[in-house]
Amino acid sequence: MSVISALPFLKPVHLRPPRSSAARQRRHTLPASEFRCLTPEDAISVFEIEREAFISVSGDCPLHLDEIRHFLNLCPELSLGWFEEGRLVAFIIGSLWDQDRLSQDALTLHKPHGSTVHIHVLAVHRTFRQQGKGFILMWRYLQYLCCLPYVRRTTLMCEDFLIPFYSKCGFKELGPCEVTVGSLNFIEMNYDICGHAFMRRNSGC
Ligand SMILES: CC(C)(COP(=O)(O)OP(=O)(O)OC[C@H]1O[C@@H](n2cnc3c(N)ncnc32)[C@H](O)[C@@H]1OP(=O)(O)O)[C@@H](O)C(=O)NCCC(=O)NCCS
C-alpha cells in the first residue's frame, strides 16, 4: 500500500487540480460572505429579489426601482446587504423618520433630522430562506445602528404573519399601523436602540 492511499485524508490535497489564475483571482476578489451598505449600483439586484419575493406573490412590492435608487442615494448608510461570493442574497433598506408613529409619508420620505430608522424592507433571496439569514442580517443591522449616534430606535410595519419573526429579532408590537397599501393592513413594530447607549459608548464606534 502506498503512503498516499494509507492516508486517505491527504488525497484531496494531492489530487486537486491546480487552480487557474482566474479562479485564484476570483477567489481573491469575491469573499465568501460579506456585509456592507448598499450603493445605487446595487439597486437592480435589490429589485430582482423584491420582484420574486413580493411582485410575483401580490403584484406589488415595498419599494419600486426608482424608490430603491432614491433611498440608496439619500441614505445608503441605513442599508445593509449580505453578499455571497459577490452576489446579493439578502438586504435591508431603511431611512430616517421623525414622528412617533409611521404615516403614509414615511413610505417615500427620508427625514435627515429624524432619530427613528424606518425599515422599509427586509428580503432574503428565495434560495437562501429558512436558513437563519433574515434573522442574522437583522441582528447585524441592529448592532450596526447602535454605532450611529443619531439613531434612538427603529420601526417597521409588517403583516400579522411576520410578527413572530420580528418578535424573535427583538421588536415589540406598537399596535395597528395607520398606513395601508391597497387592502393590506399592517402592525407597527419598534426596537429601542437607546437601551444600547452603554454598548455604543464602550464599543469604540
Ligand atoms: C421574511 C424573511 C425576510 C425571513 O427571512 P429568512 O431568512 O427566511 O428567515 P429565518 O430563516 O431567519 O427565520 C425563519 C423564521 O422566519 C419566519 N418566517 C419566514 N417567512 C415566513 C412566512 N412566510 N410566514 C411566516 N413566518 C415566516 C418564521 O418565524 C420562521 O421561523 P420557523 O423556521 O421557526 O418557522 C424571508 O422569508 C423573506 O425574504 N420573505 C419574503 C419577503 C418578506 O416577506 N419580507 C418581510 C416584509 S418586508
Instruction: Provide, rounded to the nearest whole percent, the portion of the chain with pLDDT above 70.
Output: 80
- State the distance from the centre of ligand 1 to the C-alpha of 130, rounded, in angstroms: 7
Three-class DSSP category at 110: coil
C-alpha 178/C-alpha 63 separation (Å) is 18
Q: Whose CA is nearest to atom 21 of ligand 1?
A: 162
Higher pLDDT pick, 53 / 59: 53
Say yes or no to pLDDT of 204 above 90: no
- State the distance from the centre of ligand 1 to the C-alpha of 134, rounded, in angstroms: 7
Q: Whose CA is nearest to atom 30 of ligand 1?
A: 165
Q: Does the Cβ of 182 fall within 6 Å of ligand 1?
A: no
Any residues with CB less than 8 A from the CB of 98 and at least 6 apart, and which?
Answer: 111, 113, 114, 115, 116
Least confident of 12-26, 45-59, 105-119: 12-26
Instruction: Give me the helices (H) in the chain, please.
Output: 3-6, 11-15, 21-29, 43-50, 56-58, 65-74, 133-145, 163-168, 197-202
- Select the highest-mean-pLDDT range: 9-13, 179-183, 193-197: 179-183
Least confident of 55-64, 105-114, 117-126, 132-141: 55-64
Reported confidence tier of residue 16, pLDDT bands at 50, 70, 90: very low
pLDDT at 22: 55
Instruction: Provide, rounded to the nearest whole percent, the portion of the chain with pLDDT above 90.
Output: 75
- Mean pLDDT of all residues belonging to the chain: 87
- State the distance from the centre of ligand 1 to the C-alpha of 162, rounded, in angstroms: 7
Q: Residue 182: phi, psi to the nearest 5?
A: 60, -125
Q: Which atom of ligand 1 is nearest to the CA of 168?
A: 29
Q: Is the pTM of this model over 0.75?
A: yes
Cell for 33? 460572505
Q: Which amino acid is at 32?
A: A
In 98-201 the beta strands, taken as DSSP E runs, fall at: 116-124, 153-158, 172-176, 187-192
Q: Which atom of ligand 1 is nearest to the CA of 122?
A: 48
Mean pLDDT within 62-84: 98
Mean pLDDT within 4-9: 35
C-alpha 22/C-alpha 81 separation (Å) is 26
C-alpha 187/C-alpha 65 separation (Å) is 25
Q: Which residues are catalytic?
A: 95, 109, 120, 122, 166
